[in-house]
A and B are shown apart, each in its own frame.
Chain A
Amino acid sequence: RKEVEQDPGPFNVPEGATVAFNCTYSNSASQSFFWYRQDCRKEPKLLMSVYSSGNEDGRFTAQLNRASQYISLLIRDSKLSDSATYLCVVTVSGFQKLVFGTGTRLLVSP
């Protein structure tokens, strides 16, 4: 079983749609949680951190459920520029080691 599991997609949505991605992690000792974004043939970049209380950054909302070991990302009012792969990431050993999920691909169409 992979340490971090995601639905690979692709999720095909029209502009303006709301889309949600889910992620589960297996290591209950995981300490910090993030969503990274990776555009095609580019490097991953931090999108946002995920806190137990839930957090929002503009059109993006992230949630963490430690009991269920489950992380989510909600994107409202999708834009064409949101098309990318979204990587769920957890840390072990403090901040030293990031463990990446395989990513969920999002395609937003006009």
Chain B
Amino acid sequence: DTAVSQTPKYLVTQMGNDKSIKCEQNLGHDTMYWYKQDSKKFLKIMFSYNNKELIINETVPNRFSPKSPDKAHLNLHINSLELGDSAVYFCASRGGSSYEQYFGPGTRLTVT
């Protein structure tokens, strides 16, 4: 069973559209994250939720809105997509006092 899963794996869309990416973890972890990895492979945290509560919100345009319906799910909705949003978006989770984060397989978003 996949520990951290994301859908879709690939997403190609046009500028101005609105899209969502979903993430689910079956590890029983309390904390989930969204990261963005750009074309230069730089991986940067965007958001973090702990038990459905937002705890980290980096400097991200407000077109990006995370939602955590329960602690096993963290979705990312993006409004008015721009060319610069093209990247790989990774979801991750972490449990309790452990430092290790488990990453999902990534969603490759291409905005044309």
Contacts and interface: CB of A to CB of B under 8 A. Distances in A.
B98 interface: yes
Nearest to B33: A98
Among B42, B43, B45, B50, the most chain A Cβ lie within 10 Å of the Cβ of: B43
**Size bin of chain A's contact surface:** 20 to 34
Given A96-B55, A97-B56, A43 B103 contact: yes
Contact of B99 (A34, A44, A45, A102): A34
Nearest to A103: B41
A95 B41 CA distance: 23
Nearest to A45: B103
B43 A87 contact: yes
Interface residues of B, number: 22
A96 B31 contact: yes
A98 B103 contact: no
A100 B103 contact: no
A85 B105 CA distance: 16
Given A85-B41, A96-B55, A97-B45, A43 B104 contact: yes
A93 B99 CA distance: 12
Contact of B94 (A34, A95, A102): A95
A46 interface: yes
Interface of B: 31, 40-45, 48, 50, 55-56, 90, 94, 97-101, 103-106
Given A43-B104, A96-B50, A96-B55, 12 more contacts: A32-B99, A34-B99, A43-B105, A43-B106, A44-B43, A45-B103, A95-B97, A96-B31, A98-B45, A98-B101, A100-B42, A103-B41
